[in-house]
Amino acid sequence: MNSVAIVTGGSRGIGRATALAAAKLGYKVVVGYASNEAAADDVVAAIEASNGKAIAVKCDVGVEADILHLFKEADGFGRLGALVNNAGVVDRTARVDEMSAERLARMMTVNVVGSILCAREAVKRMSRKHGGAGGVIVNLSSVAATLGSPGLYVDYAASKGAIDTFTVGLAREVSAEGIRVNAIRPGLIDTDIHASGGEPGRAQRLAHSVPMQRVGTAEEVANAVVWLMSDEASYVTGTIFDVSGGR
Ligand code: NAP
């Protein structure tokens, strides 16, 4: 492989598991993180301990200048072969009639605009139209996009619905230029994201509602992400792939 994979939000959770799995697949990994430098450094150290190559780059995907910096650092590391748009946020449980404009702006800026801006930078580098050698983009959506998350966070669900639509559109836009674009829709996965939404035990509490009767692990999601990043998926684009235990 030997090309570079950028994983936004690669310091914890699904992003961390994806960074480790991408390195195993042979990618040199750029581990993006928002603020937890120690966690990002730990991912880099784990990759290097297995003879892989990785660097950590601070990048809040809600800030365009940070995204430009992330891609500049990646340019110095090698040819970009893959982007995983993993960074994403939830917020406190709330009904729509309780949501502030600030909350909605953050949700859409990080989850939607951030992913589209990262894809823009990736396409500029990967597209054969721009002299690139092709590549792969994987977007992290959520089954929330299909469930709507009423009474929990409809705004988050809507942001992931936008990711699904963006995935289909971008895939069709750049398929002939050598870029495959797909999305993964995780279900209830055991990561810190539930604590950041104010309820650390949320995934376990709802495990009974999953047809498989359990939550998923970050590694189970990462397995699907790296399959889409691999040559095994060479004819797969515009696909939205549920990793949700049947939810
Ligand atoms: P997580 O455990 O909360 O980890 C979030 C990661 O994203 C961290 O590395 C964090 O960096 C980074 N991050 C947060 N805000 C960021 C920002 N503004 N810019 C850049 N990076 C940022 O999350 P996760 O559960 O692994 O979720 C990863 C993705 O999967 C998200 O898109 C999420 O919506 C989606 N997803 C998760 C689940 C689930 O049940 N866990 C289900 C469906 C979809 P720091 O370490 O620096 O804070």
What residue spans define the domains of the chain? 4-243
Q: Which CATH superfamily is domain 4-243 in?
A: NAD(P)-binding Rossmann-like Domain (3.40.50.720)
With contact defined as beta carbons under 8 Å apart, do 74 and 4 qualify?
A: yes
Here the tokens at position 159 are 């942001």
Query: What residues does ligand 1 touch, defined as CB less than 6 Å away?
Result: 8-9, 11-15, 32-36, 39, 59-62, 86-89, 110, 140, 142, 186, 188-189, 191-193, 196, 203
pLDDT value for 2: 86
Give pLDDT tens digits for 68-102: 999 999 999 999 999 999 999 999 999 999 999 99
Closest residue by Cα to atom 33, ligand 1, is: 88
What's CA 229's distance to the chain center, in Å? 12
Residue 218: CB partners within 8 Å, gap ≥ 6?
Answer: 13, 14, 16, 17, 18, 189, 190, 191
Q: CA distances (Å), 10 to each of 27, 33, 54, 129, in order?
A: 14, 6, 11, 29
Its pTM stands at 0.99
Catalytic residue numbers? 156
Alpha-carbon distance of 136 to 181, in angstroms, equals: 6
pLDDT value for 148: 98
Low-confidence ranges of the chain (pLDDT < 70): none
Task: Determine the residue of 7, 8, 11, 14 to mutate for testing ligand 1's pocket, defined as the one with the most ligand atoms within 8 A of the Cβ atom.
Answer: 14
Alpha-carbon distance of 55 to 4, in angstroms, equals: 10
Length of the chain: 247
With contact defined as beta carbons under 8 Å apart, do 243 and 185 qualify?
A: yes
